[in-house]
A and B are shown apart, each in its own frame.
Chain A
């Protein structure tokens, strides 16, 4: 587990560099979901860069598509494409644009408009049930995203069809572009909301790999209903000055901020390794 913690800081360094070079990106949301992606891509999901069309591979949809830099950095590190290709991120003619698209090896679905990931994941999970396949389907949503009505259409169908091969993760970092989620549209009673649609609800510390590991393990063991993991995260987690600040939703670091941030991430990576 300790090595994966270090890995998450290493990936944050890649993300930080990508955003600084491109002068665009979503630092806050990238950093808050890093540990979730690390837990899935290095431990829990049955995926491999050698067999991206294997019928029994696990499926993943990044519903909060704006956290694409975190997604790219994980896929590159897992060998789905060469890391150097990320140098072109958000540049003219690059396929590495600011939201996920399936021209990129390892990305299943295009996303970017919020509220699509869960309903599409429901279709994937239904197909798995029809084929009696053993693959699992995962999607990661933002907490601000939960205001989209289509999320709840998907939640309703997943509960109705008892899709226990589906796990949704809510990146509960409590911030969205306009500020605190509770001031924009309150989201504080997730247990009642998901529970009433027939879901098993798990709360987990979303930047704690051990807690995430337990949550994903419990989700796999839960039968007869889909599972949602409310991952309590810190937006911008990893650099002290980006943590819990709404403006870091898509702020680009200055040169000084970049250097200081990189230094802190490296320190935390080393500390995690010790």
Chain B
């Protein structure tokens, strides 16, 4: 049982890189604890900016820092970071093409009983609709680490959404196929393809195993790159398997009649 949440891996990668790279700046909106970034704030106080509970300001200040050569990582609960600050994400980050990585933590329904205000089941739709904004939902701790290391190498905007709790590993240490912006085939199958992202990849993997026992051969695609989506992998699945099912921790706002 893995007990390290993906958000903690993000902090570990940033702390590791910040040793050498003084342009890395982490920003929080009274969210350093929720984002597992207290370690970063304490170790690199000169590379940490607190904005208080002001998510719009968090995003705009990140853009200003990035415009002056900093690599800004703005971490806040996904619900507030994405839709409350949507216009700052659109104008100051995506349209102005600033090197800001928006880290949405406790995404989806991670906050459970805290209710609708804290659920972020709109963030993917909201931010993916913005031109020049990439959207990534890594599945486990190994993939989160690889994704963060790749994102540290580019200077373009991105939104990264992770959950709150530790998730069971999808991959193994040293056995984690990863190519930037390409879906990972978690398991091969010929009857049906399950395309999943984020924490639900593990659920999809488990489901595929159960389906196997029933004689159904299910392919599982880890589509951590929701945008830009891996079209080749989707088309290949459509051609080679008889059906595609997608699962994500998100809503399309369908109301009961």
Which residues of A are in contact with B by a Cβ distance under 8 Å? 55, 59, 101-102, 108-113, 116, 119-128, 130-131, 149-150, 153-154, 156-157, 160
Partner of B63, one of A123, A130, A149, A157: A123
A131 to B68 alpha-carbon distance, docked (Å):
10
A130 contacts B70, C-beta separation under 8 Å: yes
Is the contact region of chain A dominated by helix, strand, or loop, or is it mixed? helix
Would you give the shortest CB distance from A129 to chain B, in whole angstroms?
10
- Residues of B35-73 at the interface with A, using a CB-CB cut-off of 8 Å, are 46-47, 49, 51-52, 54, 56-57, 60-70, 72
For residue B92, CB closer than 8 A to chain A, the reply is yes
Interface membership of chain B positions 72-95, coded 1 if the CB is closer than 8 angstroms to chain A and 0 otherwise? 100000000000000110011001
**CB-defined A-B contacts under 8 Å, sample of 19:** A55-B69, A116-B91, A116-B92, A120-B61, A120-B63, A120-B64, A123-B68, A123-B72, A125-B64, A126-B49, A127-B68, A128-B68, A131-B68, A131-B69, A150-B60, A153-B54, A156-B52, A157-B52, A157-B57
A229 to B60 alpha-carbon distance, docked (Å):
22
B57 contacts A119, C-beta separation under 8 Å: yes
Determine the chain B residues whose CB is within 8 A of the CB of A154 once the complex forms: 57, 60-61
For residue B162, CB closer than 8 A to chain A, the reply is no
Partner of B87, one of A113, A124, A125: A113
Other contacts beyond A59-B67, A124-B68: 6, CB < 8 A: A110-B96, A112-B91, A116-B87, A130-B70, A157-B61, A160-B52
- Residues of B172-187 at the interface with A, using a CB-CB cut-off of 8 Å, are none
Determine the chain B residues whose CB is within 8 A of the CB of A131 once the complex forms: 68-69
Interface size class of B (residues with CB under 8 A): 20 to 34
A127 contacts B65, C-beta separation under 8 Å: yes
Would you give the shortest CB distance from A155 to chain B, in whole angstroms?
10
Determine the chain A residues whose CB is within 8 A of the CB of B54 once the complex forms: 153, 156-157
Determine the chain A residues whose CB is within 8 A of the CB of B47 once the complex forms: 130
A101 to B51 alpha-carbon distance, docked (Å):
26
Determine the chain A residues whose CB is within 8 A of the CB of B26 once the complex forms: none
A253 to B57 alpha-carbon distance, docked (Å):
39
A130 to B69 alpha-carbon distance, docked (Å):
11
A102-B96, A157-B52 given as contacts; is B70 within 8 A of A120 (CB)? no
A108 to B64 alpha-carbon distance, docked (Å):
10
For residue B220, CB closer than 8 A to chain A, the reply is no
Determine the chain A residues whose CB is within 8 A of the CB of B92 once the complex forms: 109-110, 116, 119-120
A109 contacts B57, C-beta separation under 8 Å: no
Determine the chain B residues whose CB is within 8 A of the CB of A160 once the complex forms: 52
Partner of B66, one of A112, A123, A157: A123
Determine the chain A residues whose CB is within 8 A of the CB of B56 once the complex forms: 119, 149-150, 153
A157 to B50 alpha-carbon distance, docked (Å):
9
Would you give the shortest CB distance from A33 to chain B, in whole angstroms?
21
Determine the chain B residues whose CB is within 8 A of the CB of A122 once the complex forms: 57, 60-61, 64
